[in-house]
Structure 1
Amino acid sequence: MMRKVVVFVDVKSDELCSVIQQQVAKSVAEAEIVFLEGSFACTLNRRGRWMVDSVGTFACFITEKTLDHADVVYAVYYMRLPVLSLTEGRRARVSILETPSSLGVADGGSTIEGRAEAVRRFFAFEPTKSAVIVFEGGDGVGKATQTAYMVKRLGSEGHRVGTIDFPSDIHRYGDLIREILSGKKGGIRDLDPKLFSLLYSLNRFDCLNELRYWMKRGTKVVLDRYYTANYGHQASKLSEDERVDFIRHLELVEVGWFQLPPSDAVIYLDLPPPVALTAMKGDNKREALDIHETANVSYKEDVRRTYMWCCRNMPGWFHVGCCTDEGVRHSREETHELAYGKIKHCISKA
């Protein structure tokens, strides 16, 4: 639940400032407008980063600067805050950077009236139904490929689409997670699943502003792994009688405490571990295999059994087999059609 809006503002026009204040007041009961004092980074550091990291707070930045300016680059690429650039004439390729053009303003924001309209539309959140669609599965099953196929399919159908690949290297603890996965901190059985799962959770929590903005925009969010990945890869390291309680705990942490948007559909891409390993070894795009990818077959079978349990017992989980009973792998297109058929119910524009 969004309880507070914090808007960082860097505009010269008193009229625009007035429009911003009016629109913010309409969006939520508790709001704070922070006018820049120097650069965006200096203002944020002066006021305290906790302003944008707090659970229940939606933070954004409205400016007359463009993506060529350091303030906008810092807000979008480092802080990952939604930004409205009132003078950016191009349609931004970054999903959290809005412009008058991306918001459908007729004059592209070339007039004060057009910029005021862009501000109104920025805060006039869409009535369309957002949805979180997640691809899960063991390593080498094609999650990245199927995520890309789904993003393209939904975009071609006219949906607003956002996507993230977890763990996210550009978000908090991303580098540490990659270092651990490289094996430098020990093998797969040496890592405490409760501690390791928390690192993944904090990495996703750093995306909260981004995810929350997409949800308010009626975005179809397609994710390569999500908090549900911890169910398979971390809960499977525990004994079977401990797994169910741990899965419930993982959901409580990320959806209950961190308030990440819950998944609407989780597609488990199922591929026998030996077939998946063969696919990974033949993938020239992979620089190296991580500790999950090189783990022994018994661990991978535990992961698979845990995911299968989720498909049988958890709402919104769907099993998609990626090969025939004889072990012949389906084509990417065939797998995509199977996955798309599972999520059609949750992508209505209405």
Structure 2
Amino acid sequence: MAFLLAIEGADGAGKATATAAVVAHLAAQGLSACALSFPRYTDTVGGWALGEYLAERLPRAVSPQAAATLYALDRFESRAHLVDMAARHDVVVFDRYIASNMAYQAAQVPDGEAEALMTWIARLETGQFALPVPDLSVYLDTPLAVARTLIAQKRRRSYTDDTYDAYEADLGLQARVRANYAAMADAAMLGEWMTVETVAHAALRPPEMIAAEIADAVIGRLEG
């Protein structure tokens, strides 16, 4: 079974860039690594439904619990693909994984209900849907103002032509998501975490530097 690395963070944190750079860095160190990005908008029923939801094209409101189930369904439908990738590589790098579902849905309920919802989602994904827990989750800590700029620079998405989807447009939600990620990392929910700062001295750190920091942590754990 491969080492499972989850790259996590709020929208605009640089997850896709970091994921690709980590895979390249690991390959340069002689490890077989691959990337798997969630949601899989064009590959699963859950992913398609999530695209419609985020583009605000669904005919009715979606509760946080229903949205959480769609995100979990996307991964459940992808489980065989995930297991196959893990059997053929040394490291599988996730661009978003289970913690993303927990952080975002818990950001949409009252504070007193957030922890219970995160626990429910974790049990749904790792219990009922039997998805593997990551060996290491990395929280990319990116200031909200910086993330907002990076979102606007994203390439066109398959599910919307808008600059911001429903989650990205809500600044309050994004702030709560960042707080949830920090809390999960502090509490070691879903296992071990490391936090990586993506900004230093008021400037974005080079992706290669961020990737090297993450890849070195993975290699250290594999060797240990």
Scaled to the shorter chain, the TM-score interval is 0.7 to 0.9
Question: How far apart are the structure 2 equivalents of 1:206 and 1:136?
Answer: 21
Q: Structure 1 residues 329 and 162 mapped into 2: Cα distance closer, same or farther (>3 Å)?
A: closer
CA contact (8 A) 2:34 2:89 kept: no
Provide Cα deviations, 1:166-192, integer angstroms capped at 9, x if missing partner: 0012123222111111122389xx531
Give 1:321's aligned residue.
197
Shift of 1:323: 0.8
Residues 1:156 and 2:28 aligned together: yes
CA contact (8 A) 2:4 2:94 kept: yes
- Structure 2 counterpart of 1:228, from 87, 92, 99: 99
Question: How far apart are the structure 1 equivalents of 2:139 and 2:131?
Answer: 20
Listed as ranges, the gaps of 5+ residues in structure 2 are: none
CA contact (8 A) 2:103 2:118 kept: no
Give 1:332's aligned residue.
207
- Number of residue pairs matched? 217
Over the aligned positions, Cα root-mean-square deviation in angstroms equals 2.2
CA contact (8 A) 2:54 2:167 kept: yes
Amino acid aligned to 1:318: M
Residues 1:302 and 2:169 aligned together: no
Tell me: higher relative CO, structure 1 or 2? Use CA pairs within 8 A at least 6 residues apart: 2
Between stretches 177-186 and 315-324, larger displacement belongs to 177-186
Question: How far apart are the structure 1 equivalents of 2:37 and 2:155?
Answer: 19
Give 1:290's aligned residue.
165
Question: How far apart are the structure 2 equivalents of 1:342 and 1:245?
Answer: 31
Amino acid aligned to 2:7: F
Give the fraction of aligned pairs with identical amino acids, expressed as a percent. 26
- The residue matched to 1:230 in structure 2 has which SS? helix
Give 2:39's aligned residue.
167
TM-score, normalized by length of structure 1? 0.58
Question: How far apart are the structure 1 equivalents of 2:31 and 2:77?
Answer: 25
1:123-142 matches, within 5 Å, as 130-142=2-14
Which has the larger helix fraction?
A: 2
- The residue matched to 2:209 in structure 1 has which SS? helix
Amino acid aligned to 1:166: F
CA contact (8 A) 2:22 2:211 kept: yes
Residues 1:203 and 2:74 aligned together: yes
Give 2:83's aligned residue.
212
Question: How far apart are the structure 2 equivalents of 1:305 and 1:133?
Answer: 21
- Structure 2 counterpart of 1:277, from 144, 148, 153: 148
Listed as ranges, the gaps of 5+ residues in structure 1 are: 1-128
Shift of 1:285: 5.0
Between stretches 267-276 and 236-245, larger displacement belongs to 236-245
Question: How far apart are the structure 2 equivalents of 1:176 and 1:148?
Answer: 26
1:1-350 matches, within 5 Å, as 130-169=2-41, 170-185=43-58, 191-217=62-88, 219-283=90-154, 287-288=161-162, 289-295=164-170, 297-314=171-188, 315-324=191-200, 327-348=202-223
Shift of 1:243: 1.7
Amino acid aligned to 1:328: A
Shift of 1:213: 2.5
Provide Cα deviations, 1:274-328, integer angstroms capped at 9, x if missing partner: 1111122234556532111111x2211110100000110013111111112x532
- The residue matched to 1:290 in structure 2 has which SS? coil
Shift of 1:343: 2.7
Give 1:49's aligned residue.
none
Question: How far apart are the structure 2 equivalents of 1:180 and 1:268?
Answer: 25
CA contact (8 A) 2:25 2:212 kept: no
